């Protein structure tokens, strides 16, 4: 049965920022497409939590590095819900490589990171755009302060997030006024990504006025603001890092 209500697709929404965003948008009446690549059980748990908000959740497995999988995901979304209002590009990957260790930055590392963080994100935007245009929807991309400061887990990761910021601005210019495109740029977020890298978190906190890392809910609040509260913002990058980069 097709829904006439608002619909949001969130890539990488099995856990962390994606899950928090799915739940917060569900609180605002959105039906949710929960996307995952590997964590099926976690994705199903996200869907269960979404449904407790009185909305519908559709779980779809798709690796955003695979364009055919992306096309199939959007086709399934439109067939099921009849439209799309919000795309949140949250999927991402990295390699933890010291910035001075240039020899470890191999072609495989570049390809792995760029295929998800940049090419995959762009492919999702391309697949979503005609559906977003028809509903005057919007896109929120999850970038990083690494893309602003050249910091982060590795040089390729920082470069990929810099590309996401530029891509956000390019799409915002190209598709206004029908579709708004914005980004959030988190600092360190306490997710399982950083569970084994608490030394990096503590080092960052030494230069963070708010003296704590972000939670997934902190970043989701910013995403929801851009997606469902603001109506004039486009091409903007909202930094959520406790004041570290001000």
Positions annotated as catalytic residues are 157
Quote the DSSP letter at residue 14: S
The per-residue DSSP string of 201-213 comes to: HHHHHTT-TT-SP
**Whole-angstrom Cα distance, residue 222 to residue 219?**
5
- Alpha-helical (H) ranges within the chain are 16-27, 40-51, 67-81, 107-114, 121-135, 146-149, 155-175, 198-205, 216-224
List the beta bridge partners of residue 9. 33, 87
Helix (H) or strand (E) holding 237: strand 237-240
Contact status, residue 129 vs residue 180, Cβ threshold 8 Å: no
Please tell me the number of Cα atoms within 13 Å of 220 on its side-chain side: 22
Cα Rg for the chain, rounded, in angstroms? 17
The dihedral built from the CA positions of residue 242, 214, 139 and 92, taken in this order, carries a sign that is: positive
């Amino acid at each position: 049965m097709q829904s006439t209500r608002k619909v949001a697709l969130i890539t990488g929404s099995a856990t962390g920022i994606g899950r928090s965003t799915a739940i917060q948008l569900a609180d605002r009446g959105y039906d949710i497409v929960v996307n995952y690549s590997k964590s099926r059980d976690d994705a199903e748990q996200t869907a269960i939590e979404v449904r407790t908000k009185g909305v519908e959740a559709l779980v779809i497995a798709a690796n955003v590095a695979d364009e055919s999988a992306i096309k199939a995901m959007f086709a399934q979304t439109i067939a099921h819900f009849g439209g799309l209002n919000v795309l949140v590009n949250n999927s991402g990957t990295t390699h933890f490589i010291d910035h001075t260790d240039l020899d470890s930055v191999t072609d495989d590392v570049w390809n792995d990171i760029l295929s998800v963080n940049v090419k995959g994100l762009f492919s999702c935007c391309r697949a979503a755009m005609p559906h977003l245009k028809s509903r005057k929807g919007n896109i929120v991309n999850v970038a990083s302060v690494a893309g602003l400061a050249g910091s982060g887990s590795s040089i390729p990761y920082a470069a990929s997030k810099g590309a996401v910021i530029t891509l956000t601005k390019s799409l915002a210019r190209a598709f206004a006024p029908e579709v708004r495109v914005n980004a959030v740029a988190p600092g360190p977020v306490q997710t399982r990504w950083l569970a084994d890298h608490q030394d990096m978190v503590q080092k960052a906190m030494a230069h963070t006025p708010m003296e704590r890392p972000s939670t997934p809910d902190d970043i989701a609040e910013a995403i929801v603001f851009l997606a469902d509260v603001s109506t004039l913002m486009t091409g903007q990058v909202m930094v959520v890092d406790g004041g570290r980069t001000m």
